[in-house]
Amino acid sequence: MLSRKDFIKLGAAVSVASVASKLQSGTPNRKKGPVVVSTWDFGMEANAAAWAILSSGGYSLDAIVEGVAVPERDPKVNTVGLGGFPDRDGRVTLDACIMDEQLNCGSVACLEYIVHPAAVARLVMEKTPHVMLTGEGALRFALEQGFKKENLLTPQAEAAWKEWLKKAEYEPKPNWELNHDTIGMLALDQQSRLAGVCTTSGMAWKMHGRVGDSPIIGAGLYVDGEVGGATCSGLGEEMIRIAASHSVVEAMRSGKSAQAACEAVIRRYYKRRGDKAHGKQLCLLAMDNAGNVGAFSLMPGFVYSVNCNGTNEVRKAAYLLDE
């Protein structure tokens, strides 16, 4: 087994520190929307779509739904929406949730045949007395709302699944892009309204019916306009265990910066889980209600996309373990 070195990689830490200082320059706590951030590098295109709405004075909630619709409908992204890798039965099941600055939230889990689960989650929030719909019920609701039923299993995803079936071993690997990688997005608009969304096809080759952190309010996403928001990617079972996004928001509420809050949650996770954390990846992304951004992961490899004042770029997150 590889030895573990429990330290922050300085290079990455420096790049995040410079990002933080860039974003935090100016009067402390000055509202500085619009800003949009999202997990991974495919967040760049998603951010650009969200930015088109934010920069013209649009609502953050509209911006994030449009933003994540880009990877959701991209068949080349094998971890979100159309073209997402299926479960072990060959079924593409999608998870998503959404939350606004006033604690309104909606979620769908294990939703099949609908390309845009984040948009459905928004309607769960706006049009039902519930927060979460799953499986058949979520599908029925989506169809009633006018969404089209489509086959989400692309030939490429089907071929990958058939290849996997030859050994049928379920081994979630950190940062193996073809295995998982959710898009979580947080946006602050010109009127300082904060909103967040998280959408995914979940872990490839999962058991049918498995639901990860991504549609769970408090795990994959949490937003409170009084404080800020957080979202995650990585192994959902671990995120749920620590109510990851809610923990980050609560750490910010207690006075930590977005960056320090992400670090504190990962450090506490590692302290509590010790060897059980081995080989797992947990990636946190946060933004406070003034637009200051933080990101941190357990292991190397987490990148995120930031669009602030129209400059859209991918940044490396600092991380805890050198392995």
Sheet holding 228-234, edge to edge: 221-224, 228-234, 282-288, 293-297, 318-319
Q: Is 215 in the site for ligand ASP (CB under 6 A)?
A: no
List binders of ligand ASP among 229-258 (CB under 6 A): 233-236
Nearer to ligand ASP, 60 or 201 (CB): 201
HSE (side-chain half, CA atoms, 13 Å) at 163: 8
Establish if 305 lies at the interface with ligand ASP (CB under 6 A).
no
CB 216 to ligand ASP: min, Å: 10
Catalytic center residues:
182
Query: Smallest distance from the beta carbon of 53 to ligand ASP, in angstroms?
Result: 24
Nearer to ligand ASP by Cβ, of 34 and 174: the residue is: 174
Q: How far apart are CA 188 and CA 185, in angstroms?
A: 10
Residues 6 or more apart whose Cβ sits within 8 Å of residue 171: none
Q: Is the sign of the CA dihedral 30, 27, 197, 156 positive or negative?
A: positive
Give strand pairing partners of 42: none
In the set 47, 182, 289, 305, which binds ligand ASP (CB under 6 A)?
A: 182
CB distance 106 to 98 below 8 Å = yes
Q: How far apart are CA 122 and CA 81, in angstroms?
A: 16
Closer residue to ligand ASP, CB minimum distance, 24 or 40: 40
Output the smallest distance, CB 198 to ligand ASP, in A: 8
Instruction: Name which of 53 and 183 has its Cβ closer to ligand ASP.
Output: 183
- Using rule CB under 6 A, residue 214 touches ligand ASP: yes
- 3-state secondary structure at position 221: strand
Q: Does 100 bind ligand ASP (CB under 6 A)?
A: no
Determine, following the binding rule CB under 6 A, whether residue 180 of this chain makes contact with ligand ASP.
yes
Helix (H, G, I), strand (E, B) or coil at 139: helix
Q: How many CB atoms lie within 10 A of CB 253?
A: 14
| Least gap, CB of 283 to ligand ASP (angstroms) | 7
Cα 183 from Cα 199, distance rounded (Å): 6
Q: Find the part of the chain contacting ligand ASP (CB under 6 A) among 57-65, 69-77, 157-165, 208-216.
A: 208-216
Contact footprint for ligand ASP (CB under 6 A):
180-182, 200, 202-203, 212-214, 233-236
